Amino acid sequence: MPGLSRASTVANVHQDERLSAGSLVRGWFRTFYGVLMGAWTALPDLLAAVLGVGVVKMTELELLRIARYGEAAHADPLTPRRCQRYLGVRWLVGGMGVGVILMLMLYLATALSMITAWLFDGTWGLVKDGDVVDTQLILVATVPGTLLIFVTLAGITGVAKLDQWLATTMLGTSQQTLLRQRVAELTSTRAEVIEAIDDERRRIERDLHDGVQQRLVALGMLIGRARRTKNDEQLQQLLRQAHDTAGEAIDELREVATRVYPAVLDDSGLDTALEVLAERSSVRVEISNELRESPGTALETVIYFVVSEAVTNAAKHASPSVVEISVWQSQQDIVVVVRDDGVGGADPSGSGLSGLARRVKAVDGGFEVISPQGGPTTICARVPCA
């Protein structure tokens, strides 16, 4: 019903607002705890910087604190010299946190004392001789008092942001350097993608030449012999052979088309495509797909080809009894793990696996092959969620 639908929508909006407000409050308290812990470590930071003792360990503790109570700082590998310089400045931020926290406590204590005095006996102890607190004084003090408390609350967040910025600036890589590295990475990835496409084209050409083309040549020869023969029995035999060869050519052509792009992936989705892949495999395949929703066509294609190539490699070279496929989603990535109990020794630089690595890197993913001699072989790919 329209009325019910509108009421449900309004209720959902109010619920989202409450959740958002609750998240903000929890986030601020987490930030406050981080600044408080940073205030406690200000003096140890100064001593470590002056004495030059334990600077790397103290810096690691500071980075852990920043990551736990705020946003993780992007830091390069730590060296004692860089850590000592960082701690020599970082203690000032900790001291700033001490000042902001003390100011907040003072403002809150003053406000609470005035409100308590106003509600009960009219006097308060923070001012000499017990000044009288009446409604007029409360009204006059409300605006500046609220403003001071708000500024101090914002100051807590500011100290936390300054702490994170200082760690990133003094221990990490500059934004310009990160940008240059990213441009170089994208340029390399683009070149690898082009190379992977060329490899795929060469493989398709090889499959067509060595498989389908040979079948079609044989089919043409059989039909030619059938046209020339005068023996009915031989004619029937040649036609049966031609029919079988045509069927084999069609099957190989379908196989090539599937390797180019499986139509079932568009028609029925990743889950069904993996099941079809398992059914066509010459080895037993066990699938565990925990994805609750589609990650998008591009990522589904990458996941499918990782699994397909890994299963094909295992069946050709590893002689496994079973291939286990696991697909699940973490907080930021979709993880694909293909494990077989074969003989191991897979070469990551081979054309198949290196092509997979380039395909995964094209979507900013990670690819790893663990295949000791004697097995087992584990192939792990991580692709970022869209």
What would the pLDDT profile of 218-269 be if each residue is shown by its tens digit? 888 888 888 888 888 888 888 888 888 888 878 777 776 666 667 777 778 8
Q: Is the predicted pLDDT of residue 123 greater than 60, yes or no?
A: no
Collapse the DSSP code of 60 into the 3-class scheme (helix H, G, I; strand E, B; otherwise coil) and give the result. Answer: helix
Residue 137 pLDDT grade (very low, low, confident, very high; cuts 50, 70, 90): low
- Least confident range of 19-28, 37-46, 142-151: 19-28
Whether 320 contacts 340, CB under 8 Å: yes
Domains of the chain, by residue range, sit at 2-172, 199-256, 264-384
Q: Give residue 27's pLDDT.
A: 79
In degrees rounded to 5, what are phi and psi of residue 252? -65, -35
Looking at residue 149, its pLDDT comes to: 78
The separation between the first and the last C-alpha atoms of the chain, rounded to the nearest angstrom, is: 35
Q: Does residue 74 have a pLDDT over 70?
A: no
Neighbours of 206 (CB within 10 A): 11
Structure tokens at 32: 């406050």
What is the average pLDDT across 133-151?
A: 72
pTM of the model: 0.48
| Non-local CB neighbours of 49 within 8 Å, separated by 6+ positions | 55, 84, 85, 87, 88, 91
Please give the C-alpha separations between residue 371 and each of 58, 176, 318, 381, in angstroms, as whole numbers: 38, 38, 10, 14
Sheet order of strands, 366-370 included: 284-289, 322-329, 333-340, 377-384, 366-370
Residue 273 scores a pLDDT above 80: yes
Confidence class of residue 9 from pLDDT cuts 50, 70 and 90? very low
- Using an 8 Å Cβ cutoff, are 169 and 73 in contact? no
Residue 333 near residue 385, CB atoms below 8 Å: yes
Confidence grade of residue 92 (pLDDT, cut at 50, 70, 90): very high
Integer Cα distance of 228 and 234 in angstroms: 11
* CA nearest neighbour of 144 among 176, 178, 110: 110
Averaging pLDDT over each range in 3-7, 284-288, 290-294, which range is the top one? 284-288
CATH superfamily for domain 264-384: Histidine kinase-like ATPase, C-terminal domain (3.30.565.10)
